Amino acid sequence: MRYSIVILAALVSGSVFAETPRDFLSRFETEAGAPAVAERGARFFSDKHGSDWSCSTCHTARPTQPGRHDKTGKTIAPLAPAANTERFTRAAKVDKWFRRNCNDVVGRECSAGEKADVLAWLLTLK
């Protein structure tokens, strides 16, 4: 019984099974109620959306390469899952960074469709 509780707690916390980028893509597509469009994601990633920054400002136009935060100078690991297998594997991090980065770039939280489009594009990069 005690082992069952430990296993159940680990499963609920997500520490036993990591999610995959495709799991997040499915989640965002379901939330958006529409399939992602990679080309639209590429445009969203490079557009400035009325501010000084775009996603590519820090993550570079080639997100298979390391980036650098524009203000702090901190190195950012590659964003594309093919170049960084740690990307898009933990819900708490995915939600946190989409929320923070969308607020910085777009001035609001990104829609599920926007997240799906960007992730669909990132998944095309090798």
pLDDT for residue 16 is more than 60: no
Distance (Å, rounded) from C-alpha 55 to C-alpha 76? 12
Using a 10 angstrom Cβ sphere, with 0-12 exposed, 13-18 middle and 19 or more buried, the burial of residue 79 is buried
Band (17; pLDDT cuts 50, 70, 90): low
pLDDT at position 5 is: 53
pLDDT at position 2 is: 58
pLDDT at position 3 is: 53
Q: What is the mean pLDDT of the chain?
A: 90
pLDDT (tens digit per residue) in 69-113: 988 999 999 999 999 999 999 999 999 999 999 999 999 999 999
pLDDT for residue 4 is more than 60: no
pLDDT for residue 28 is more than 70: yes
> How big is the CA angle at 53 (ends 111 and 33), to the nearest 5 degrees?
10
CATH class of 19-122: mainly alpha
pLDDT for residue 66 is more than 60: yes
pLDDT at position 14 is: 47
Domain boundaries defined on the chain: 19-122
Distance (Å, rounded) from C-alpha 88 to C-alpha 80? 9
Band (18; pLDDT cuts 50, 70, 90): confident
